[in-house]
Amino acid sequence: MKPNDIPPGSLSLLILNTLSRHGELHGYEIAESILHASGDVLQVEEGSLYPALQRLLVQGWVSAEWGTTAGNRRARYYRLTAAGRKQLTAELSHFHRIYGAITAVLQPA
Amino acid sequence: MRQLLRRLSMLFHRSRFNADLEEEMRLHLELREQQQVATGLAPEQAHREARRRFGNNTNLRERSFAAWGWGWLESFVQDTLYGLRSLLRSPGLTCVALLSLALGIGANTAIFSFLDAIVLRSLPVKAPSQLFILGDGDEDGVTDRYGSTTLYSYPFFSQLRAKNTVFCEIATVLSFNGEAHGTIDHRDQMENLSPDLVSGSFFSTLGVEPVVGRLFTADDDNTEGAHPVTVISYAFWQTALAGSPDVLNHTVKFADTTFTIIGVAPPGFFGITVGHAPDMWIPMAMMKSLPAHYNGYKDNFYQSNLIFGRLKPGVTHARAEAEINVLYQQITRGFPDARLNDYNLSHLQQAHVAITPIATGISGLRHQFSDPLKLLMGVTALVLLIACANIANLLLARSTARAREFAVRQALGAQRLRLVRQLLTESLILALAGGLLSIAFAVVADRMLLRMISGGPDADLIPIDVSLNLPLLGFSLAVTVGTAVLFGIVPALRASHAEVTGALKDGRSNANVATRNVLGKVLIVTQVAISFVLAIASVLFLRSLVNLTHVDTGFPRNGVMLINMDSSVLGLKGEDPRMVAMFSEIEERVAALPGVHGAGFASFTFHQGSWNTSINIPGTAYNDAVNIKHNVISNGYFNTMQIRVLAGRSFGPQDTATSHKVIILSESMVRDLFPPGVNPIGRHIYIGKDPGPRNDHEVIGVVKDVKFGNLQEHHQYIDYIPNPQHPWGYGTLAVRYTGEFGAVSKDVQNTIHSINRNIPINRVTTLDRVIERSITNQTLVAQLSTFFALLAVFLSAIGIYGLMSYLVSRRTNEIGIRMALGAARSSVGWMIMREIVLLVVSGIALGGALTLATNQLVQSLLYGLKPTEPLSLLLAIVALLAIALPAAWLPARRAARISPMEALRYE
């Protein structure tokens, strides 16, 4: 693992979580939001966002619609679906359980 | 489910998908660039930085697309298109491959469909494996012989049915159900129909259910003449009655009896005889009411019926056979009119009734065609093998030639798996396209074969179901696809393992060559061996057919017309003076027609069956094993057939019903059965064993031997009896004619109808057509095996040509050097040829050994020659060499013409 890479598989969790917090976002906004929220620690290879978004679309966890940005540019906006919300809850609780367990193991006795 | 819909909709909006993704990514890049500029970077740098952070654009797009799970489809489409292109680049080879696949699979499937229909398929009835027949089911006719174990009388059946405890149901069917003219409803025209006479238990024993109405029960068959009912076949309902829903209100009239239709049998049901599909079934109790007026319902020794039954569960075959044999003796001896003299008793004692399973039915077709079909099945399987070998060779050659291409592609980063998949796709395309073609071919071949088996373009088609056999089609497809995959993938794996640099450095000589050559050569030797076996077989069959067509029949084959009529509809007995008069009037008036040189009736013309008994010649020991065929003929018959009278005289007007009985013998009868040196003319013989006056005949002439039943038979003992002394309800008039068949045939038919317009004429054919049809199966085997042998040799030649061309192309360099060093063209050509000649000769030797090992298989299908005859071997060798060597010579000559400079520069 290179420094500041995100753990594999967690990209979709980050996207889902970001969308649940901000409602509708386009790709660039999602990338910026993740970057900022992590205090600029998590460096996503920005392009890999798009295949991930497509996977979420296939699963039906997010939906996409074309809209206009503040700068009057056409952009595709993503939002969480009901199924996506459920998936997020599931992934979050899974993450917390694992993360909690790892933290407990690493805790000095 | 919804996910699948989303995926599909994405697939159909591919371009929109790409455009959307493209736009989205561009926006991202631009926004990032702006943001970077805002942090103070130079535009140039900002652009680079944005790209760096974004990653590999193409790769990302591929991954986005792959997210939808269609990646395999895309590469499949690519592989398919590429495969098609590369196949089309060598159209000749592709055509050969496709054709050999199509013919190989198609022929196999077609032949197997027949084998299945005639030999293998179970009867379409309930649990056919429980059905057994008494005897072997292989006789038809009537006999009064004691000890008959296949044909039984109806009274015997009735008693057996009541007394046996081993069959849960038992039924009987008249063994010689023929055609009869009858009238449907009140139509004007009589039609030629085929009714089967059966016991009331027939349908319930077979366990079939009616489609309409009801089937027979025992109550439809208990009083002679009292059950004018019939069950019709599904096909008859559909064709003759146009599937009319009120079928039960229709009738069929035979002779004076009107039969009411009471039911329709299920579709596809035909009884127990494969290849015989009756129009309808009539209770045995009505046998006397049919036009032929069979008088056997109550006759204890009118043994005319087949008996079959359904074995009770738990009863073993051995127990059933034991009980039936006890009952057989008991019932036969118990008949009040049984003549239990020593002679008959000895025959009864020797009789053993075998119980034979009839799960697949009984069939005369089977005896005739099962050997030829099995043989052809073997032949087509071998052809398929050769086709597979060819495909293998073709694919091997292609992939070796492409070793360099693969090396280049691998060097450029293609995945090994992807390369293998590519080759696999090509092989599959080839195999599947060949498979599709083969289905079309099989359908056509099926129809042609049915025509051939039925006896030619003018014959009625035999009613058997020969629709494509799907399991076998699947099997053949699997074999060829398997071959294609195997031989496509092995070299693919090898090629993809090739050391990239080695293959790139030297496109012409890498380590694969040796292995490929060995495999290719083994394939060639195998092909040649198999082709040689097939070539010998076809030469044998062709020569056998030629022998048959040159057999001396004892009469000239050409120029005789046979008119088949049904005099039974007139309702007159053969001995009725009106019938006798009518036949002689027909004979006289037809003989007087222009273009007609003679006309005569016979109870049996060539290949029509026989009436045979033993005879008793005073002064010689009686031998009941010698069967004599009797033929009742009119006065003009010998003259019409041009059968030579060797001694004595022919029949004339002086031989009448009241004059003393006379008989004419065939020459071999006199030679073999009379004491040597005795002049038979004027001697008396008895037909049958009893030397009573009723059987006493004076020999008045001797005629030349003729073929009677078929062309293969040896000398037949035939005697001839004049019609007035043993009146016969004739069915066939022979007419010797010159001129145009159609015109003479019309005149003859008009003349017959002017004498009696009620006689239906079934068909008019010629003697040579009948003779041809009697050797249908030899013709079939000869024609088809020749076709397949040619195909095999042709395919092998292509294989040889392919291998040679390949060898030559591999050795261009070497040849160039040799010639530059002074080798003569001829010696270069020979160097190439030597190799292939060696292969062909080993193939022939191997094939010869195979032939010697398997020649017993074909012996039974040959006439007038032995399978090991040197001439046939020689012909096959010559034929094979004549095709194989030119195929090898062409590339060799090309090698010899190579200009040394060109060859050396080429690399």
pLDDT digits (tens, 9 = 90+) for B642-659: 999 999 999 999 999 899
- C-alpha–C-alpha distance, residues B75 and B426, integer Å: 13
Q: Is the predicted pLDDT of residue B844 greater than 70, yes or no?
A: yes
Let me know the angle formed at the C-alpha of B363 by B359 and B369, rounded to the nearest 5 degrees. Answer: 115
Which residues from B are below 8 Å from A27, CB to CB?
24-25, 27-28
Q: Does A48 touch chain B (CB under 8 A)?
A: yes
- C-alpha–C-alpha distance, residues B641 and B598, integer Å: 8
Question: pLDDT tens-digit profile of B309-347?
Answer: 999 999 999 999 999 999 999 999 999 999 999 889 999
Of residues B6, B27, B63, nearest to A75 (C-beta): B27
Question: What pLDDT is stored for residue B356 in this prediction?
Answer: 94
Question: pLDDT tens-digit profile of B657-672?
Answer: 899 999 999 999 999 9
- C-alpha–C-alpha distance, residues B708 and B704, integer Å: 12
CB contact under 8 A, A75 and B53: no
CB contact under 8 A, A51 and B64: yes
Question: pLDDT tens-digit profile of B437-490?
Answer: 888 888 898 888 888 888 777 777 888 888 777 787 787 778 777 877 777 777
Mean pLDDT of B681-706: 92
Question: pLDDT tens-digit profile of A39-50?
Answer: 777 766 788 888
Question: pLDDT tens-digit profile of A76-99?
Answer: 999 999 999 999 999 999 888 988
- Nearest residue on chain A to B55, judged by CA atoms? A47
Which residues from B are below 8 Å from A69, CB to CB?
27
Q: Is the predicted pLDDT of residue B512 greater than 50, yes or no?
A: no
Would you list the DSSP string of B886-901?
Answer: HHHHHHHHHHHT--HH
Q: Does A36 touch chain B (CB under 8 A)?
A: no
- C-alpha–C-alpha distance, residues A51 and A37, integer Å: 22
Q: Does A51 touch chain B (CB under 8 A)?
A: yes
Of residues B2, B28, B55, nearest to A28 (C-beta): B28
Question: What confidence tier does B508 reach under pLDDT thresholds 50, 70, 90?
Answer: very low
Closest CA to B281 of B264, B267, B293: B264
Q: Is the predicted pLDDT of residue B588 greater than 60, yes or no?
A: yes
To 10 degrees, what angle do helices B416-454 and B71-89 make? 60
HSE, CB side, 13 Å, CA atoms: give it for residue B491.
Answer: 29
Question: What pLDDT is stored for residue B61 in this prediction?
Answer: 81
CB contact under 8 A, A54 and B27: no
Closest CA to B228 of B207, B255, B247, B267: B255
In chain B, which residues touch A (CB < 8 A)?
A: 2-3, 6-7, 20-21, 23-25, 27-28, 31-32, 53-57, 60, 63-69
The mean pLDDT value of chain B amounts to: 87
Question: What pLDDT is stored for residue B826 in this prediction?
Answer: 81
Question: pLDDT tens-digit profile of B553-578?
Answer: 999 999 999 999 988 888 888 788 89
- Residue identified by tokens 């004549």 is B882
How close is the nearest chain A Cα to the Cα of B6, in Å? 7
Both tokens of residue B566? 């049904």
Question: pLDDT tens-digit profile of B282-316?
Answer: 999 999 999 888 889 999 999 999 999 999 999 99
Which residues from A are below 8 Å from B64, CB to CB?
50-51, 53-54
How many of the other CB atoms lie within 10 Å of CB of B663? 23
Mutation target to probe the A interface, by most A beta carbons within 10 A, among B14, B28, B33 is B28
From the options 1.10.10.10, 3.10.180.10, 3.30.420.40, 1.10.760.10, give the CATH code of A11-106. 1.10.10.10
Higher pLDDT: B881 or B259? It is B259
Question: pLDDT tens-digit profile of B84-109?
Answer: 888 887 777 788 788 888 888 888 88
Domain boundaries, chain B: 2-69, 128-359, 365-550+776-906, 567-759
Max mean pLDDT among A54-68, B390-404, B485-499, B852-866 falls in A54-68
- Nearest residue on chain B to A68, judged by CA atoms? B27
DSSP-assigned beta bridge partners for residue A63: A79
Domain boundaries, chain A: 11-106
Of residues B2, B24, B57, nearest to A76 (C-beta): B24
Q: Is the separation of the CB atoms in B58 and B66 below 8 Å?
A: no
Question: What confidence tier does B228 reach under pLDDT thresholds 50, 70, 90?
Answer: very high
How large a percentage of chain B has pLDDT more than 90?
39
DSSP B397: H
Question: pLDDT tens-digit profile of B785-802?
Answer: 898 898 888 888 888 887
Q: Is the predicted pLDDT of residue A38 greater than 50, yes or no?
A: yes
Q: Does A42 touch chain B (CB under 8 A)?
A: no
Mutation target to probe the A interface, by most A beta carbons within 10 A, among B9, B49, B51, B54 is B54
pTM of the entire predicted model:
0.76
